[in-house]
Amino acid sequence: MQIKKLFLQNFRNYEKETFAFSDGLNVLFGKNAQGKTNCAEAVFYLCTGASLRIRHDKQLVKIGAESAKITAEAENRYGRVTIEADIFENKREIRVNGTKITKNADLMGHINSVFFSPGELRLIQDGPDERRRFMNISISQTSPAYYTALLRYNKILDQRNALLKNSDYSLVLDTLPVWDEQLCKYAATVVKKRAEFLDKLAPYAKELHAYLTDGAEELVVRPDKKYEGDEDEIAKTLLRRLSNNYDKDLRLGFTTVGPHRDDLDVLISGVDAKAYASQGQTRTAALSMKLAEVRIFKDLSGEYPILVLDDVMSELDLPRRKKLLQRIHGIQTILTCTHAERVLYGTECNKIRIEGGRIKE
């Protein structure tokens, strides 16, 4: 899929600009704090309905303006698609081909993107939250069923956690099994789809990491917990684990088992990357995982997602930059950097200079 045009109005530091993207490599360049990442963020927002950096849409609206507008014209395997978002302080409206969508699940999948920025090191260095977020965003874009199951799971989980704080123990013990039956149904979908995702991701990530490091390192990505069987069996396993932990959950006042606690292990050449990897190794591993995500999208939908590489080049050494450029050939990419010449080595591309929230001809 390709994004052809992106229109921004009162979005972040943009007043009114239209970006025309080519099918291959697009390079947004310019000094710091000019609006390169903001543009990348707008693309991501239209793909996922979520912001990259913030929780409140309000910050996306240009200071002093009442609302922001982002419109993208894109093409996917089904034809042309237009996505528009109007963002207000406390609400937003998103339309796909003119039709207002009522839930985020209906936005997912029209334009898929994979986003990589230096902050993505968190994927490996930070706690499990980041890795679950990675899986959630990635899987949701190709599986509305996953996204819906995840939302329902989280909702019931909140209710279960509220119940665990209730001081009426007999009420709690009577009610828990009712919640748990429901909870495990959605949990099983989440667990199963994550396992399928990681089964596909792991070999690609391993291959890409080996490619970027000239075979010097081996990357292993795998789920931290084992679940056997189909969704029914997973649900049963979880139900058992939940009931085994009633005492602990009651004592702590929250649910201690389930996919909201699951993680994935990332190993580089046999050792836990989170604990032992250097910055450079971590960066390459995170990049490999993201490029693996690109391939999964391609396998699942038959077309590449839009790859957004924010400020990535400056963090890579020269051989890795060149390898990266080779590997993304044929994938529509939006790449931001401060000095286009220094990172491109003559690679053919559509260069767009950004200055103070404007495109400079």
Ligand X SMILES: Nc1ncnc2c1ncn2[C@@H]1O[C@H](COP(=O)(O)OP(=O)(O)O)[C@@H](O)[C@H]1O
Residue 115: phi, psi to the nearest 5? -115, 135
The one segment of 56-64, 85-93, 136-144, 206-214 that binds ligand X by CB under 6 A: 56-64
Residue 35: which of ligand X, Mg ion, none does it interact with, CB under 5 to 8 A by kind?
A: ligand X
In the bound state with ligand X, the residue whose beta carbon lies nearer, of 35 and 49, is: 35
CB proximity list for 103: less than 8 A, separation 6 or greater: none
Residue 38: which of ligand X, Mg ion, none does it interact with, CB under 5 to 8 A by kind?
A: ligand X
Residue pair 77/1 in contact by the 8 Å Cβ criterion: yes
In the bound state with Mg ion, the residue whose beta carbon lies nearer, of 37 and 284, is: 37
The one segment of 61-69, 137-145, 197-205, 296-304 that binds ligand X by CB under 6 A: 61-69
Q: What is the three-state SS of 269-280?
A: CCEEHHHHCCHH
What residues from 179 to 238 belong to the interface with ligand X (CB under 6 A)?
none
Residue 354: phi, psi to the nearest 5? -115, 130
In three-state secondary structure terms, 88 is: coil
The nearest distance, CB 314 to ligand X, in angstroms, is 11
The nearest distance, CB 348 to ligand X, in angstroms, is 23
Alpha carbon distance 190, 192 (integer Å):
6
Identify the residue among 33, 54, 162, 173 touching ligand X (CB under 6 A).
Answer: 33
Residues touching ligand X: how many (CB under 6 A)? 14
Residue 94: phi, psi to the nearest 5? -120, 135
38 binds ligand X (CB under 6 A): yes
Listed in sequence order, the DSSP H helices in the chain are 36-48, 122-125, 128-142, 144-164, 169-212, 231-244, 246-252, 273-276, 279-301, 318-327, 340-344
- Give 104's DSSP letter: G
Hey, what amino acid is at 16?
K
Residue 12: which of Mg ion, ligand X, none does it interact with, CB under 5 to 8 A by kind?
A: ligand X
275 binds ligand X (CB under 6 A): no
Alpha carbon distance 212, 206 (integer Å):
10
The nearest distance, CB 152 to ligand X, in angstroms, is 33
Residue pair 48/94 in contact by the 8 Å Cβ criterion: no
The one segment of 19-27, 30-38, 115-123, 169-177 that binds ligand X by CB under 6 A: 30-38
What residues from 4 to 23 belong to the interface with ligand X (CB under 6 A)?
12-13
62 binds ligand X (CB under 6 A): yes
In the bound state with ligand X, the residue whose beta carbon lies nearer, of 28 and 238, is: 28
37 binds Mg ion (CB under 5 A): yes
* Buried-state track 268-281, b at ≥16 Cβ within 10 A, e below 16: beeeebbeebeeeb
**286: Cα separation from own chain's centroid:** 12
Identify the residue among 34, 189, 237, 281 touching ligand X (CB under 6 A).
Answer: 34
Alpha carbon distance 95, 106 (integer Å):
10
37 binds ligand X (CB under 6 A): yes
142 binds ligand X (CB under 6 A): no
- Give 118's DSSP letter: G
117 binds Mg ion (CB under 5 A): no
Applying CB under 6 A, the residues found at the interface with ligand X are 12-13, 30, 32-38, 59, 61-63
**Residue numbers of the site for Mg ion (CB under 5 A)?**
36-37
